[in-house]
């Protein structure tokens, strides 16, 4: 199958795209996370802090919010043109062994999420938070067994995001899926859509308010 590479330049940015089988994707699946999405995670009450790894940092969109609100952030990106502490393949776990990260937080390439999520779960001491399509919870062959043994402890459902900033969105919405290793119960949080909520003048309009549902059932031990 042929792959074509193209570059799009704007006044402030340059993006590499590849076209494979008729589908146009940004190189390295680079789709920056809007600030309100990361704020939604940090407003959820999850105890994210300490030493945090952002392993697919891109333009540091998530990392910058984490630095302001959560803790010390170490960044990694496979793209050497990105400003990051490391430029390693996240799937090569050897480079992670010298660190003890409390939390790992990222928006991983969805095509590799089935490999990245279990690896990050193994390397974090307290938990991980992954921004994923809701369809990640489908128990397909590549992740069904792992998800059955490791169901997320918190699900923060977001309004559909235009990661390309052109108004277009995926066919399914995204959610923060949190695996908190110290939590024994499951929560579902529905983030309010800022397009339809008028913030108070005293509130930061970039922050989300939440509605939370907590199940009574306890998680089975992994």
Per residue in 170-193, pLDDT tens? 678 999 999 999 999 999 999 988
Looking at the structure, tell me whether residues 21 and 52 fall in a common domain: no
Looking at the structure, tell me whether residues 18 and 115 fall in a common domain: no
Mean pLDDT of 134-141: 96
CATH number of the domain within which 190 lies: 3.40.50.150
**pLDDT value of position 123:** 94
Looking at the structure, tell me whether residues 23 and 41 fall in a common domain: no
Looking at the structure, tell me whether residues 118 and 212 fall in a common domain: yes
Looking at the structure, tell me whether residues 105 and 195 fall in a common domain: yes
Per residue in 201-217, pLDDT tens? 455 544 444 555 555 55
Q: Which of 7-16, 76-85, 144-153 holds the top average pLDDT?
A: 144-153
Mean pLDDT of 134-155: 97
Looking at the structure, tell me whether residues 172 and 203 fall in a common domain: yes
Which of 12-16, 29-33, 96-100, 208-212 is least confident? 12-16
Buried b (16+ CB within 10 A) or exposed e, 99-135: eebbbbbbbbbbeebbebbbbbbebbebbbbbbbbee
Give the pLDDT band (50/70/90) at residue 196: confident
Per residue in 89-128, pLDDT tens? 999 878 887 889 999 999 999 889 999 999 999 999 999 9
**pLDDT value of position 40:** 95
Looking at the structure, tell me whether residues 2 and 106 fall in a common domain: no
Q: Percentage of the chain surpassing pLDDT 70?
A: 71
Mean pLDDT of 8-24: 40
Within 10 A of 31 (CB to CB), how many other CB atoms are there? Answer: 20
Looking at the structure, tell me whether residues 25 and 10 fall in a common domain: yes
Looking at the structure, tell me whether residues 168 and 212 fall in a common domain: yes
Looking at the structure, tell me whether residues 62 and 100 fall in a common domain: yes
Query: Positive or negative CA dihedral for 88, 91, 94, 96?
Result: positive
For residue 179, what are the domain limits?
Answer: 31-218
**pLDDT value of position 97:** 78
pTM of this prediction? Answer: 0.77
Looking at the structure, tell me whether residues 3 and 92 fall in a common domain: no
86 phi-psi bin (left φ>0, alpha ψ -120 to 50, beta other): beta
Whether the Cβ atoms of residue 106 and residue 117 lie closer than 8 Å to each other: no
Which of 35-44, 73-82, 129-138, 192-201 is least confident? 192-201
**pLDDT value of position 22:** 46
Looking at the structure, tell me whether residues 41 and 22 fall in a common domain: no
What domain count does the chain have? 2
Over 50: is that where the pLDDT of 20 sits? Answer: no
**pLDDT value of position 13:** 40
pLDDT, mean over the chain: 81
Mean pLDDT of 131-155: 97
């Amino acid at each position: 199958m042929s792959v074509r590479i193209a570059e799009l330049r704007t006044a402030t940015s340059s993006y590499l795209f590849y076209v494979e089988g008729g589908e146009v994707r940004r190189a390295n699946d680079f789709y920056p996370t809007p600030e309100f999405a990361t704020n939604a995670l940090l407003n959820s009450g999850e105890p994210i802090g300490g030493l945090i790894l952002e392993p697919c940092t891109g333009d540091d969109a998530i990392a910058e919010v984490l630095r302001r609100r959560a803790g010390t952030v170490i960044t990694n990106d496979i793209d050497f043109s990105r400003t990051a502490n490391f430029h390693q393949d996240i799937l090569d776990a050897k480079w992670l062994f010298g660190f003890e990260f409390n939390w790992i937080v990222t928006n991983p390439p969805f095509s590799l999420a089935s490999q990245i999520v279990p690896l990050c779960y193994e390397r974090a001491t307290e938990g991980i938070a992954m921004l994923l399509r809701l369809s990640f919870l489908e128990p397909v062959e590549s992740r069904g067994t792992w998800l059955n043994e490791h169901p997320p402890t918190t699900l923060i459902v977001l309004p559909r995001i235009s990661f390309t900033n052109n108004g277009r969105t995926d066919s399914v919405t995204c959610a923060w899926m949190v695996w908190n290793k110290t939590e024994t119960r499951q929560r579902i949080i529905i983030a309010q859509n800022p397009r339809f909520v008028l913030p108070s003048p005293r509130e930061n309009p970039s922050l989300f308010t939440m509605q939370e549902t907590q199940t009574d059932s306890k998680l089975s031990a992994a």
